[in-house]
Structure 1
Amino acid sequence: MNAIKILVLESVDSNISQIIKILKDNNFQIKICNDNNEFFECIYNNLYDLYIININQMSLSRFHLIKLLNDFHDMTMKMVITSASNIIVPSFIYGCDECIIKNIDKKEILLRIKALIRRQFHIHTDRILLKKNISYDIFSKKVLKNDEELFLGEKAQLILDYLLKYRGNFVSSSDLESAVYPVSNNCKNGSIRFHIHKIRQLIGNDVIISNRTNGYKIDE
């Protein structure tokens, strides 16, 4: 099963190769872009768990990119990495979720990135208990029954992952489609129902609640 996927937007005047190496060493999947157009092409064709945006000077195009993502309700966490302290305030004003200075301890960078991932699930641990003996590991993206993996398949896993981020709230089929398929891919509601059925077969009918009008939810 896929691990956490991070899309990195680099800057031509600097690189964050040390940070990228730390992330790769900790089993994060990294894709690197060098400009805004390549970044948008990546998110058009793929799904990511975190965006890391490298900004080293006052760049309105990078700030507007963050704002544009939020305007289009892209819920992916957005972290700015910078070597300039004057970048921090505008990064938050334009809508980033975290901003760090490059010269902080590399272990702290890893901890902050993990904290961002956990924040999406509203937890402070790495696992969510689904049932008495079944849990979901948010970093390995594995469903574990008595610590043995249950293989859902990629789409079913993505649906479960998204529903767990919004535990206690109904999620519509259209929102699940956006969470499971990149913009470039067309799908039908029937595929969502198929994967929901697969999840229920493996972990039980009582985990996911369905409502014809409101969609699906997992209770807290």
Structure 2
Amino acid sequence: MKKILIADDDANIRALLRHTLTREGYLPLEAADGLQAVAILQEHAVDLAVVDVMMPQMDGLELCRHIRDTYDLPIILLTARQQLSDKEQGYLHGTDDYLTKPFEPEELLFRMKALFRRYLVVADDRIRLKSLVIDRTNYEITAGNEVLLLPVKEFELLAQLAQYPGRLFTRSELIELIWGADYEGDERTVDVHIKRLRQRFAEYSDSFGIRTVRGIGYKLEVGLS
């Protein structure tokens, strides 16, 4: 079930979107201001954000910028403003789409589905682990504005585990997948690389952890603390 962040200080708008999204099989997560939205994003793997521009604490443009800098998910801005310059600011702050109030809930659903289709293509080569994004095309990992570059085998090992969170891989499976069937070393190579990955990402334990299953192998779990 996809989780949709609704960030709007208007309780009536939140109620309307809650009803619409629930009816369509989505799970709405509601925030009355930008700071509440930030807290929700830290606790949940949100799939799409619907953000009102005019909000207390942190406005929608600031929230949009925060989301774009920290996460990899589509954003739709809601606003009562119709000026082209206001829309320009929305896109400059990172929104993917823009919907002017008042709006038809069905139009929002159309736009959401279009964004999901667009992001699905991108997601084939990107894996999101909360605040981390693994880009398998460019062999890089982003954490907010920071780009992390790993040795090739460490990257491939992490990407393999992250592609199937919760799945247990044996050491022999990982050797064949990452090093190839003709690799002549022993399976302790996997242990060494896992140890290095744990050291590199120790400060990101809120995003993921790699669990050892004694005598068998490893699996990646999202959101370990």
**Which TM-score band applies after superposition, normalised by the shorter structure?**
0.5 to 0.7
Q: Which residue is equivalent to 2:7?
A: 9
> Residues 169 and 194 of structure 1: is their aligned pair in 2 closer, same or farther, counting only changes over 3 Å?
closer
1:108 alignment partner, SS class: helix
> Residues 14 and 91 of structure 1: is their aligned pair in 2 closer, same or farther, counting only changes over 3 Å?
farther
1:122 positional shift: 2.1
Contact kept, 8 Å, 1:14 with 1:56, in 2: the verdict is no
Contact kept, 8 Å, 1:57 with 1:84, in 2: the verdict is no
Which whole-Å deviations, capped at 9, do the CAs of 1:18-45 have from their partners, x for residues lacking one? 2331111000000101112211111112
> Residues 210 and 76 of structure 1: is their aligned pair in 2 closer, same or farther, counting only changes over 3 Å?
farther
Distance 1:174 1:89 in 2: 26
1:12 positional shift: 4.2
> What is the one-letter code of the residue matched to 2:96?
D
> Residues 98 and 199 of structure 1: is their aligned pair in 2 closer, same or farther, counting only changes over 3 Å?
farther
Distance 2:163 2:79 in 1: 44
Alignment counterpart, residue 33 of structure 1, candidates 28, 31, 34:
31
1:15 alignment partner, SS class: helix
> Residues 57 and 196 of structure 1: is their aligned pair in 2 closer, same or farther, counting only changes over 3 Å?
closer
Q: How many residues align?
A: 156
Distance 2:138 2:114 in 1: 25
Q: Which residue is equivalent to 1:102?
A: 101
1:83 positional shift: 2.4
Distance 2:34 2:120 in 1: 28
Q: Which residue is equivalent to 2:82?
A: 85
State yes or no: 1:169 paired with 2:168: no
Flag structure 2 segments of 5+ consecutive residues without an equivalent: 144-157, 180-189, 198-225
1:53 alignment partner, SS class: strand
1:158 positional shift: 7.7
Q: Which residue is equivalent to 1:66?
A: 64
Q: Which residue is equivalent to 1:136?
A: none
Contact kept, 8 Å, 1:53 with 1:81, in 2: the verdict is yes
Distance 2:41 2:34 in 1: 11
Structure with max Cα Rg = 2
Distance 2:142 2:67 in 1: 18
2:95 alignment partner, SS class: coil
> What is the one-letter code of the residue matched to 1:76?
L
Identity of counterpart residues, as a percentage? 14
How well do the aligned residues superpose, as a CA RMSD in angstroms?
4.4
Tell me the TM-score normalized by structure 1. Answer: 0.54
Q: Report which structure shows greater RCO (CA 8 Å, sep ≥6).
A: 1
Flag structure 1 segments of 5+ consecutive residues without an equivalent: 129-156, 176-188, 216-220
1:115 positional shift: 0.9
Which whole-Å deviations, capped at 9, do the CAs of 1:30-69 have from their partners, x for residues lacking one? 0101112211111112211011101248997321221233
Distance 1:7 1:15 in 2: 13
State yes or no: 1:198 paired with 2:167: yes
2:25 alignment partner, SS class: coil
